[in-house]
Every structure is written in C-alpha cells, then in structure tokens.
C-alpha cells in the first residue's frame, strides 16, 4: 500500500474506475484495469504484461524502421489493423471490469482469441465465476450469521462514535424499536444530548472490554458486554451485547427473600421449639407438682376416698367388691382403720351381710358412667353423699362425705321456711325468684294467697303472672321488668292492681325486684317481693280526703281570721295616726303593741296558708334550678345589697316539680343565711351533685351557726331558737322547706358548728 503496485487497487477501493500503466508483483510493467464494486465494497484490478501485450507492436516497430519507405502504405494499413486488434480486446476487458464492478456477476468478457489477451479475458471470466461463488458463499454465511444473531436471546448492536446504531439484531429492535436514523440517546431515552456518564462509551476511553448492568427503558435488567471494534474503513465502533437478566434478578431476589424467610422461619421455629421445650419442662414440673398435690390432696381430703375391685361369681355376675385403698379421711369418717379395711370384702367389712349399694357400684363399674346419690347408712347412723366413678373395667372408686349435719340444717331450714311463710302470710308479703338462665319461676305460698290461689296450686310462670294483673296495668308491669333487664338496671319498683280470678276482687300490690349478675356482669337471676297494699291504699284515699278537708278548713279559717285582723290592723293604724300626739306615752305604746301583734298574726296566717298549700299532686314540669336561683336573687336584691351578701353557685340541674315550690325552698334557705349572719358579710354558695338516683343540693353560709342539740328542732313548725326582738320570723320557714323536699320524695338536714356557719343539704330524687 502506497507503492506503485498498489495504486490501481487503491483507486478501486476509493470508488474510482479506470485503465493505466502499472507494475505487477515482479515489478514488471503491465497494463491495468480497475473497478469499484459497491455491492461488496470491494475493488477489482486486472493486469497484463506490457511486453506480452505489445510484443507484436515492438517487432513491427523494428520492421517499420527497415522497410518504412517501402512499405509505408502497407505499413500504415498493418499498423492500423494491429492497433485495432490490440485495443479492442483491452477495451472490451475494461468494459467487462466496469460491468462486473457494478454488481453483474453473470457477465462474461471472454473471447475466442488464442493470444494473450484472449487468455487474459478467459482468466478474467474464471476469476468472475470464482468471485461469484465466493460472493454467494459470503452472502450465505452473512445471512446465517445474521439469523444466528437474530435468534440470540440477547441484543447485539454496533454503535458509532457519533451515537448512531449501524446494526441491531431482532431482539434489540423488538425491545426498543428501530433507530430510524436517530442517535441512541434520542430514540431510547428521548434526550436531546448524550447521557452525562455513558457506560457504553467507556470502552472507547479504556480501549478494552467493559462489563456492566443496565436498567433499560423497558424496565428490564440487562447484563452488558462492550467491545472496541474497528470497521473495514478503519473507523472505531462499539460492539455491545446485552443479556436480559430480569428473571434471574427477580429469581435471585425471590431466592434471597425465600432464604431470609426460611432463615426467619428457622429462627422462629427454633424459638418455638425452645418455648415448647420450656413449656414441656414447665408442664412436666407442673404435672409432678400436680401429682404431689393430688397425693397430698388425696391424703388431706376431708372427703373419704375408697378404691375397689369388683368380685364376680362363676357366671360373671357381680356379687361383692374388695377395698384396695383408702385415704386417711376414710378412717376419720367411718372409724375403720386402713389396716382393717384394705383387702376385705365389703360384705364382711361393714357387717351388713350383703355389700352396701352393690347394684349402683356394679352398674358404674360396667358402664363407666359416674353416678351420685345421698343415703342414710344405718350401721353407722349417718347420712352420706356418695359419688361413684370407674377408673377402669372391673374397678370403681367412691368419694363420700358425711352430710349428717347438713341434713339436720336442712330440717332446721325447712322449719325456718315454714315460719317465714307464716310471717309472710301475716304481713301479706310474698316473695318470688326467677332463674333467667333456666327460665324457672318460683313463688312463695303467700304470693299464691295474694293472687287468691291455693299455695303451689300450679307451677308458676311469667305468663300466668301477667294474666292476673289488671288489664290497664299489664303493659306497664311487663315494661317495668323487661326494660330493667334490657337497660341493665339493678332493681325496679312498681305498684299496680291485680284481679283475683276466684272472686273478681281488685287488689293493690307493691312489687320490688333486685337483679343478680354472674362474674361477667350478665343478669342471671331476679328476686322480688309482692306486698298486698290494698288496705294502705284505702288509708291513703281516706288521708287524701282528710287533707283536702283540712286544706279547705285552713283556707276558710285563714280567710275568716284575716278579715277581722285586717280590720283590727287598719283601725289601730288609723287610731295611731289620728291620736298619736294626743295620748300619753303608755297609750301610744299600747297602740304599737296592737299594730305589731296584728302584723305578726297576719304574717303567721300567711305562712300557715303557704304550708297548707304545699301539694305533691300538682302537675310536675321540668324546672331549671339555675333560672329559679336567678329569680330568687332578683327578688331579694334589696336585702342582698343592704347586707352586702355574696352569692355564688355551681351549675344546677333541671328537675321535675313545681317552680313556685322550688322558688320558696331556695328563698327560705338563702333568706335565713342572710338573716342569721355573723359580723362578716354573708357569703353563700349553692351547689348540686349527682348521685346514683338523686341530686344532692348544698347551701353553705358563713353565718352564726346552730348548736348541735337544735339540728332537728329547727325543722319543726313554730320552733324558734332566738327571741323575736333578735330575729324576726314566725318559725315556719324551715318547716315549709322540709315539707317541700319531702313531697318531692327527698330529705333535708343541716350540718353546723356554732359560730362557724351552717350547711343545709337536701336531696331530690331523679324520676325513673
């Protein structure tokens, strides 16, 4: 390359065709024709020795010199002919080279001439045929090689230094598509410029193979191998092969996770086995302890325990049993020692002739089903509770207890129950019990009598009970019981009417029920009492009539008394006004006594009227105690300001009642706290606290207090602890408070220390 002999082939591979002088491998001068073959990117050169090609011409040149003049005309013709003879084959040879160079391997330039040019043309044709065979073989190998590359389960690409993909196998194109002339980063990653740190191009920097892993745009993992590659034209390329290792990586990850999971499970199982071993050791230890405890229990039991073997006759019938072991309690209960009992037949040991309870023991030993029974054993004059079970065929064990004292107690209880029934009959008070778990209802004899039935006339049921209730009260009674269960209440009370079927008589009863729960808090049993309150109801009706008559009397009496009092007061005041300065000092004092007495009498009558008018039967409405307190403070504002009293309060509840009664209650208690003040300014606090089924009100002051012996007396009517000239009043205020609270179903009391203030408490029940 670079020498004269290589000039034609250099011209051919550079894409040029032509004819010219050159030299051959012997450095002999030749005539050369060259042609570029684009299809194969090859160049082809054909050469012929110049001396051989122009041998005749040389001879003629020599002859021409000799006979130039003689044969000028003939020589010119011969020269022309010879020129045509030699130039035409060479031209044809050149044209053939050009045709073959264009890719037509089927073209033939051979001639029938036998000279050197003919030989050259035929050699050229043979070379073309060989070249055609070689080209086909090369094409076949290339095709097969491409097919092999396309069949590879990996991608193979050739990448130029300017990022173009000049070759890609089918695997690559199926995964990433065809480049379409774009650079790799453009169609693979949609970038406008190369990647900042491209692993592929490191092979050009290092000029040695490079191995790395790549997460492709298809989210598959590839194992990449890059190799430096020189193309035929000497340009640098990168041969890259990528193997999809996604499944392997996933498998490795799965294997890794599986190994971790297995290791964890092995560790967990190891810990479990350790725990199991610890538990087994603990269980073994516990069982040994239990065995020791059982043996100790067996020895220390207060119940007698006896082990027996059954004795059969020749026919297989049980005829007796032998004692094989006893515990210490056996001896203490029966008086028979262990040495005497063991090995003895029961028929001989107990001196009864026939073994005691043989039929029961034989049945248990045969079936294995345990049984229990109570008996009176005459030889020992004792009652026994006996449990029998079979530890194995032909064997049985008895656990027995001396229940003689219990039997005596039961007799006493029966007598006591009889006395109780008698007491219930006298007091018209019956009792009942409902086992909710087993739906079993039992009545005492008096309940039957209250309902007009004979004691234990039939088995009591809840439905039978409801049928005896007055139709107008039946729904309320059923609701009272069922709602107490549904709402989880501990008890309930109700009064209602019943109808005695035997006579049709209507009676009034008062019922009270208590519920009992199991350990989980579930109600399992209800116990109640039924009391015939018909006579009390009649008395209440009579009392109501008496109270109504009394109230009417009080109203009439107060009205009749107030009329002369008003006249007395009016005329006394008129007398005082007209003659005050005309009478002597004693007369004026007498007039003052008359006026004061009339006023006090009128105040007393008003208080008595207020006391008599307090009625629990007034229609109850919801009363806001905060509003009540506000109205009381507003009505007493002058007294509060004059005494510089400070009144505070907690949040007070809403209750059912009569607002005027609540106003009077608060007004009397707060008024007393201001009236009976100490030297300090009155400080009064009103509070309330919710208890189980009632509200507790507290009114606390810093007044003069009450001596202990007067705590109950102050609530009695007309009771005063101070002289009238010290503190005004009629002595009825706290009696009114007591009556208001009691009509609401509550109670009132005071706690006080003389000189240190008082605290009044009263309770108001919350309605069910």
Domains and CATH numbers, the chain: 6-54 (no CATH), 301-408 (3.30.450.20), 469-613 (3.30.450), 616-765 (3.30.565.10)
Q: What is the pLDDT of residue 604?
A: 60
Q: What is the pLDDT of residue 606?
A: 64
Phi, psi of 391 (to 5 degrees): -80, -10
Q: Decide if 580 contacts 594 (C-beta within 8 A).
A: no
The number of helix segments (H) and strand segments (E) in the chain equals: 23, 25
Q: What is the pLDDT of residue 685?
A: 93
Is the pTM above the cut of 0.85? no
Q: Decide if 10 contacts 24 (C-beta within 8 A).
A: no
Q: How far is CA 291 from CA 287, 288, 295, 325, 338, in A?
A: 6, 5, 6, 17, 22
Tens of pLDDT, residues 476-519: 999 998 998 888 888 989 899 989 887 888 989 998 999 999 98
User: Which of 599, 602, 660, 596 is closest to 631 using CA atoms?
Assistant: 660
Q: What is the pLDDT of residue 730?
A: 54
Q: What is the pLDDT of residue 195?
A: 84
Q: What is the pLDDT of residue 105?
A: 63
Q: What is the pLDDT of residue 295?
A: 67
Return all residues near 308 (Cβ < 8 A) that are at least 6 apart.
321, 322, 323, 324, 346, 361, 395, 396, 397, 398
Tens of pLDDT, residues 539-592: 878 877 776 766 676 666 566 666 666 777 777 777 777 776 677 777 777 777
Where does 654-696 have alpha helices with state H? 659-675
Q: Decide if 765 contacts 693 (C-beta within 8 A).
A: yes
**CA 476/CA 459 separation, integer angstroms:** 24
- How many CB atoms within 10 Å of residue 387? 16
- The torsion angle over the Cα atoms of residues 248, 249, 251 and 254, rounded to 10 degrees, is 170
Crossing angle of helices 55-67 and 72-101, in 10° steps, is 160
Return all residues near 460 (Cβ < 8 A) that are at least 6 apart.
432, 441, 442, 443, 447
Q: What is the pLDDT of residue 609?
A: 63
Q: What is the pLDDT of residue 292?
A: 73
Q: Decide if 424 contacts 532 (C-beta within 8 A).
A: no
- With residue 166 as reference, give the H or E element that holds it: strand 165-168
Q: What is the pLDDT of residue 723?
A: 45
Q: What is the DSSP string of 194-221?
A: --TT-STTHHHHHTS-EEEEEE-TTS-E
Q: What is the pLDDT of residue 269?
A: 84
User: Which of 602, 604, 673 is closest to 633 using CA atoms?
Assistant: 673
| pLDDT, averaged in runs of 10, over the chain (768 residues) | 74 80 80 77 79 66 64 61 62 68 64 66 72 71 73 86 87 86 84 85 87 88 89 84 88 86 85 85 80 68 88 91 90 88 89 87 90 89 90 90 84 65 58 87 84 78 86 91 89 89 87 90 90 84 73 63 69 74 72 69 63 58 90 87 90 87 87 83 91 90 79 64 49 80 87 86 81
CA-based R_g, the chain, Å: 67
3-class state of residue 7 by DSSP: helix
- The token pair at 636 is 């007493």
Q: What is the pLDDT of residue 711?
A: 67
**CA 436/CA 260 separation, integer angstroms:** 57
Beta strand segments in 651-752, E: 654-657, 683-690, 694-700, 748-752
Return all residues near 490 (Cβ < 8 A) that are at least 6 apart.
514, 515
Query: Residue 516 pairs with which residues in a beta bridge?
Result: 525
**CA 64/CA 61 separation, integer angstroms:** 5
- With residue 42 as reference, give the H or E element that holds it: strand 42-49
Would you give the DSSP letter of residue 332? H
């Amino acid at each position: 390359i670079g020498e004269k002999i290589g000039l034609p082939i250099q011209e051919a591979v550079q894409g040029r065709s032509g004819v010219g002088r050159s030299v051959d491998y012997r450095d002999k001068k030749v005539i050369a024709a060259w042609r570029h073959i684009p299809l194969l990117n090859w160049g082809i050169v054909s050469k012929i020795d110049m001396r051989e090609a122009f041998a005749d011409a040389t001879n003629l040149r020599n002859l021409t010199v000799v006979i130039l003049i003689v044969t000028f005309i003939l020589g010119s013709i011969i020269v022309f002919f010879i020129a045509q003879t030699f130039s035409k084959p060479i031209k044809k040879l050149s044209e053939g080279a050009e045709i073959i160079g264009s890719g037509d391997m089927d073209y033939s330039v051979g001639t029938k001439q036998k000279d050197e040019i003919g030989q050259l043309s035929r050699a050229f044709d043979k070379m073309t045929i060989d070249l055609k065979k070689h080209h086909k073989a090369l094409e076949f190998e290339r095709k097969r090689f491409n097919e092999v590359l396309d069949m590879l389960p990996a991608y193979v690409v050739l990448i130029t230094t300017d990022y173009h993909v000049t070759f890609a196998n089918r695997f690559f194109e199926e995964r990433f598509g065809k480049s379409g002339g774009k650079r790799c980063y453009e169609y693979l990653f949609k970038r406008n410029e190369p990647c900042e740190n491209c692993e592929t191009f490191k092979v050009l920097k290092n000029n040695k193979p490079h191995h790395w892993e790549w997460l492709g745009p298809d989210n598959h993992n590839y194992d990449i191998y890059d190799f430096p590659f020189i193309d035929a034209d000497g340009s640098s390329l990168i041969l890259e092969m990528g193997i999809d290792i996604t499944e392997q990586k996933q498998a490795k990850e799965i294997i890794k996770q599986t190994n971790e999971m297995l290791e964890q499970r092995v560790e967990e199982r190891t810990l479990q086995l350790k725990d199991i071993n610890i538990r087994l050791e603990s269980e073994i230890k516990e069982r040994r302890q239990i065995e020791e405890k059982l043996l100790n229990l067996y020895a220390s039991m207060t119940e007698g325990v006896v082990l027996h073997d059954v004795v059969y006759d020749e026919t297989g019938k049980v005829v007796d049993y032998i004692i094989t072991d006893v515990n210490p309690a056996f001896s203490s209960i029966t008086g028979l020692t262990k040495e005497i009992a063991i090995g003895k037949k029961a028929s001989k040991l107990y001196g009864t002739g026939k073994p005691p309870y043989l039929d029961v023991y034989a049945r248990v030993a045969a079936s294995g089903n345990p049984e229990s029974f109570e008996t009176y054993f005459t030889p020992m004059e004792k009652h026994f509770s006996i449990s029998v079970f079979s530890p194995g065929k032909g064997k049985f064990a008895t656990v027995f207890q001396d229940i003689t004292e219990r039997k005596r107690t039961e007799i006493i209880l029966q007598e006591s129950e009889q006395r109780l029934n008698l007491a219930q009959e006298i007091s018209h008070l019956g009792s009942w019990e409902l086992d909710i778990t087993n739906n079993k209802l039992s009545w005492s004899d008096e309940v039957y009598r209250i309902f007009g039935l004979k004691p234990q006339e039939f088995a009591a049921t809840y439905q039978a009970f409801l049928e005896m209730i007055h139709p107008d009260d039946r729904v309320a009674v059923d609701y009272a019981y069922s709602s107490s269960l549904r709402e989880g209440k501990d008890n309930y009370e109700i009064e209602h009417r019943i109808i005695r079927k035997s006579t049709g008589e209507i009676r009034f009863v008062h019922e009270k029920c208590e519920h009992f729960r199991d350990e989980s808090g579930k109600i399992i049993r209800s116990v109640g009492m039924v009391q015939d309150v018909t006579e009390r109801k009649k008395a209440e009706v009579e009392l109501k009539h008496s109270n109504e008559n009394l109230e009417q009397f009080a109203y009439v009496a107060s009205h009749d008394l107030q009329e002369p009092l008003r006249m007395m007061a009016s005329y006394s005041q008129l007398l005082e006004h007209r003659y005050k300065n005309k009478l002597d000092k004693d007369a004026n004092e007498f007039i003052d006594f008359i006026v004061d007495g009339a006023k006090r009498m009128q105040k007393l009558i008003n208080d008595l009227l207020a006391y008599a008018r307090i009625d629990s039967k007034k229609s109850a409405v919801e009363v806001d105690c905060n509003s009540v307190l506000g109205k009381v403070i507003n009505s007493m504002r002058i007294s509060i300001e004059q005494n510089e009293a400070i009144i505070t309060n907690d949040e007070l509840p809403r209750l059912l009642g009569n607002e005027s009664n609540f106003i009077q209650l608060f007004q009397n208690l707060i008024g007393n706290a201001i009236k009976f003040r100490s030297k300090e300014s009155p400080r009064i606090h009103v509070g309330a606290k919710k208890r189980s089924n009632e509200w507790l009100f507290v009114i606390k002051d810093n007044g003069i207090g009450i001596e202990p012996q007067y705590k109950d007396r102050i609530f009695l009517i007309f009771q005063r602890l101070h002289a009238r000239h010290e503190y005004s009043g009629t002595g009825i205020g706290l009696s009114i408070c007591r009556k208001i609270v009691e009509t609401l179903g509550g109670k009132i009391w005071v706690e006080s220390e003389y000189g240190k203030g008082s605290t009044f408490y009263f309770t108001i029940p919350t309605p069910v």
